[in-house]
Amino acid sequence: MEKRKILISSESVTEGHPDKMCDLISDAILDEALRQDKQSRVAIETGTKNGGVMLFGEMTTRGYIDVPRVVRNTIKDIGYVKAEYGIEWETCSVWVQITEQSPDISQGVSEGDGLHKGQGAGDQGMMYGFACNETKELMPLPITLAHKLTKKLAEVRKNDVISYLRPDGKSQVSIEYDEKGKPLRADTIVVSTQHDGGVSHNRIRKDMIDKVIKPVCNKWVDKNTVFHVNPTGAFIRGGPYADAGLTGRKIIVDTYGGIGRHGGGAFSGKDPTKVDRSAAYAARYIAKNIVAAGIADKCEIQFAYAIGVSEPVSINIDCFGTNKIPINKIEQLVREFFPLKPSDIIKHLNLRRPIFKKTAAYGHFGRDDPDFTWEKTDKAALIRKEAGLKK
């Protein structure tokens, strides 16, 4: 019998994609609030279309945030400096509808207030964390390569290595795996990039393969790898002119590329009292330490919280049969050595800092940045010892 070809795909988008642009703006507002008042409560959504940006949501802070200035500077940093790109930072309209956080929600996440008195979760919901040992980042290979491609796209654009590129762009990587789950090769790589008019498709294709795809993916490329570059033939109109953008529409791009489940809550624009963000970071931190400790080759953790309640209402751990010790022992180690309450997560991961804008593009996980405290494996040696595993 012929072996089944196992292909798994993940995508990424550049910071100039309309949805990702909105994530960046929402997190830029959050950062500015935390810079002035680390106790700020923020839940900001951003939308964009044509030459306009809309911000709406809730914010309670002792600081003063010049919202239009933050919006315009973020758009400028992305690279939207000409109207023909899809939006222009100096002339775009900025429409703001922001109120204070509801007191009914506030009492549930304020220490000493509310029904349960302790600092509870900012909302109900499920959050997932995931890690696997197929890359040094302990992330799935398809999303790792997809992010590196879009980051490389931005790099060659901003450094003027390829002068005709514009900010909008996407990537997608399909990896072939063997039956044991080991990645073998890149089967198909897709790169779509916005560009100036008058540039031939052949030139764009050659530049993308030589200066973006191969420098990132060469280890996984073989003679049978298929490259799709701007597969419609042209990508001149981009940004908010071509497509509306909205915060929170790239949640799979932000996490594990579809490998590993997602609870549904977006991250950007939310301060760390929102467990959609902080508990998802904690779940990644725990899963990564479990894999780094050698307790499992692959680990997925689900938390569920109730608004105003500090302890998670449920914890579920799945190692997909790769665990070296029983699951109930792993759960015991998680409960003993890792932060689970929102206040403990915030303190342990030091989340009341203006670090979130840089999380908004190219993935919240699998990146080597000292501010990404949820990527540390500082508990791996301890839990390996507690699990009774030899080095």
Separation of alpha carbons 118 and 114, rounded Å: 8
Catalytic residues: 17, 19-20, 45, 58, 170, 235, 243-244, 249-250, 270, 274, 276
CB-based burial of residue 56 (10 Å sphere; 0-12 exposed, 13-18 middle, 19+ buried)? middle
- Residue 314's SS3 state is strand
Torsion angle (degrees, nearest 10) of CA 90, 93, 97, 100: 0
Cα→Cα distances 387→15, 327, 328, Å: 41, 11, 11
Separation of alpha carbons 327 and 317, rounded Å: 7
Order the strands of the 298-305 sheet from edge to edge: 125-132, 298-305, 314-318
Q: How is the chain split among helix, strand and coil, in percent rounded to 5?
A: 35, 25, 40
Separation of alpha carbons 245 and 324, rounded Å: 44
Cα→Cα distances 366→143, 185, 217, Å: 9, 20, 17
Separation of alpha carbons 251 and 49, rounded Å: 20
CB-based burial of residue 104 (10 Å sphere; 0-12 exposed, 13-18 middle, 19+ buried)? exposed
Tell me the sheet residues that pair with 188.
174, 226
Question: Cα 205 vs. chain centroid, distance in angstroms?
Answer: 28
